[in-house]
Structure 1
Amino acid sequence: MIWRRAACAAVLALWAGGAVAECRQALALGLDVSGSVDQLEYRLQIDGLAAALGAPSVRQALTVMPGTPVDLLVYEWSGPEDPAVILPWTTIADEAILNGVIAHLQTTERRQTTPGTALGLAMRVGVGFLAQRSYCWKRTLDISGDGKSNLGPRPQDVKAELAGTDVTINALVIGADAPSFGDLRQMDVAELSSYFRHNVIVGEDSFVQTALGFEEYAQSMARKLERELETLIFSEDITQPGVPPVAR
């Protein structure tokens, strides 16, 4: 479609190095592509993220303050050798750029990855990406996952390393697809949510969002993004350039 080609061109032009406005929030999204995620679930996840970014409430939250936009990065994680960026840092300056991001995600194909779940390493990688946006007023890492870590550094050790920093880590926990009964799925999600709450999320305002399965990923991601992108009402008495406004 013509609009998709034009939107993608706008994103590519921005990646090539355009003017960068003051950054309201840096948001890095880490997607689980480990062995427990099959091809259908991968498609539900990547297309679900695209749908969530295009949801009216999320779209408005991303574009409501064009003078102080959100910077967005998306990467995939699995085993220790597998983290890969599928959307480099992109400043969501307007709806055309957001449309380009959505189109880019919709055409992203799955790579070959190892089956391990190196969750602690995925946290470190995401925090490393956020370090590239140290000038943003807020820096948030989102980790999506459907299982516990079984390779690499322990998530709880990485969480301890980040204590006292200004980085926030939130999680989107996805229930296993194997249980066919609702009660079993609820128990699976509850146990995994507890694991992520104790070992992964970081920051005073951090939280765990849940999805009973990948079929609920789009709706759950939209709800999480709405919460993370809440628009603050700022005071008008800031006079020093480069200093973040103060929330009332």
Structure 2
Amino acid sequence: MRILTLVALMFGLTGTAAAQMAAGDANTVDLELVLAVDISYSMDEDELRLQREGYVAAITSKPVIDAIKEGVYGRIAVAYVEWAGTEQQNLLIDWQIIDGPGTAQAFADKLAESSTNRAYRTSISAALDFSSRLFAKNAYEGTRRVIDISGDGPNNQGNVVTFMRDLVVSMGIGINGLPLALKAPNSGSVDIQNLEAYYRECVIGGPGAFVIPVAGKNEFAEAIRTKLVLEISAIEPQARVIPVQNKAVNCMMGEKIWRDRYGDGIQDNWQ
């Protein structure tokens, strides 16, 4: 632990004292991380499978394990949530400590063995609300708290996404994004042209928040791995830091597209 070694040298700590500092309380972690994953019907079954496989591979990869071990405490707490509309948020895997290959593999095995589901609508705001409440329910104390949210479309149901983003950030929780721009928008969908810009301006928040877009199915695994390493290491990717607000991005565009296409009363549709 390079950080702890420097601290020990500065304050003349013995090896035992430094080791105790590194261990901390068993429930103290470097990061509390919620992985919030979109399962709306706009994701086809192949994309859902690739997304699931990407998380399974990333959480057990050497770069992710190395990033965890480089932390002050050498461990993180992770929960996995699947979400779609306002009525569909599911805690698929409850909080679990990951501190090395064994615990990472146990988490990955649970994920790989879970069935995949799909549900209607897209409520990023409800996903953020549900995910933010999980931090108060766990037994861990992290130096950082982050929601990592992936999705392939804009918010079209529930609270205004910017309201919920600002509320979550005010709690000291960071939000990073993985916008999935896998298909070009067509006349029958409620997708948008520049999902990365929407996520950057309307969804992510907190110090060092970033987005890593996925533009092709072959990019899933690498994007997820890179995102996890950045979150665990608290590294700010220069190109992804939140810019000055772009007023050209309408954060209510998803709701508007839905109303224009389907009206206010339609609840069950493919998206």
Normalising to structure 1: TM-score of the pair?
A: 0.76
The 8 Å contact of residues 182 and 214 in structure 2, kept in 1 or not, is answered as no
Does the alignment pair 1:196 with 2:199?
yes
- CA-CA distance at 1:204 after TM superposition: 1.6
Task: Specify whether residues 189 and 64 from structure 1 end up closer, same or farther in structure 2 by C-alpha distance, changes over 3 A only.
Answer: farther
Match among 118, 123, 131 for residue 126 of structure 1: 131
Does the alignment pair 1:162 with 2:165?
no
- CA-CA distance at 1:212 after TM superposition: 0.6
Larger radius of gyration: 2
**Distance in 2 of aligned mates of 1:84 and 1:124:** 12
**Distance in 1 of aligned mates of 2:62 and 2:175:** 24
Matched with 1:50 is 56
Letter in 2 for 1:122: A
Structure 1, 215-224 or 139-148: larger mean CA deviation: 215-224
**Distance in 2 of aligned mates of 1:214 and 1:129:** 30
Matched with 2:226 is 223
Matched with 1:211 is 214
Structure 1, 155-164 or 117-126: larger mean CA deviation: 155-164
**Distance in 2 of aligned mates of 1:67 and 1:161:** 29
Match among 76, 96, 100 for residue 94 of structure 1: 100
Structure 1, 134-143 or 39-48: larger mean CA deviation: 134-143
The 8 Å contact of residues 30 and 72 in structure 2, kept in 1 or not, is answered as no
Matched with 1:244 is none
**Distance in 1 of aligned mates of 2:129 and 2:69:** 29
Matched with 1:176 is 182
Letter in 2 for 1:125: F
Deviations along 1:119-161, whole A, 9 cap, x unmatched?
1110111111123357211001000011111111121111222
The 8 Å contact of residues 33 and 77 in structure 1, kept in 2 or not, is answered as yes
Residue aligned with 2:54, SS? helix
Task: Specify whether residues 107 and 163 from structure 1 end up closer, same or farther in structure 2 by C-alpha distance, changes over 3 A only.
Answer: closer
Residue aligned with 1:211, SS? coil
- CA-CA distance at 1:56 after TM superposition: 1.3
Residue aligned with 2:32, SS? strand
* Structure 2 unaligned regions, length at least 5: 1-24, 186-190, 236-271
Does the alignment pair 1:114 with 2:119?
yes
The 8 Å contact of residues 68 and 233 in structure 2, kept in 1 or not, is answered as no
Structure 1, 170-179 or 91-100: larger mean CA deviation: 170-179
Letter in 2 for 1:118: S
Matched with 2:44 is 38
Matched with 2:240 is none
Structure 1, 126-135 or 71-80: larger mean CA deviation: 126-135
* Structure 1 unaligned regions, length at least 5: 1-18, 180-187, 233-248
- CA-CA distance at 1:175 after TM superposition: 0.9
**Distance in 2 of aligned mates of 1:67 and 1:226:** 16
- CA-CA distance at 1:63 after TM superposition: 3.6
**Distance in 2 of aligned mates of 1:140 and 1:27:** 5
Normalising to structure 2: TM-score of the pair?
A: 0.70
Letter in 2 for 1:86: L
Letter in 1 for 2:150: S
Task: Specify whether residues 25 and 189 from structure 1 end up closer, same or farther in structure 2 by C-alpha distance, changes over 3 A only.
Answer: farther
Residue aligned with 1:204, SS? coil
Does the alignment pair 1:135 with 2:141?
yes
Say what the alpha-carbon RMSD is for the aligned residues: 2.4
Deviations along 1:58-89, whole A, 9 cap, x unmatched?
12112445844100100100011111011110
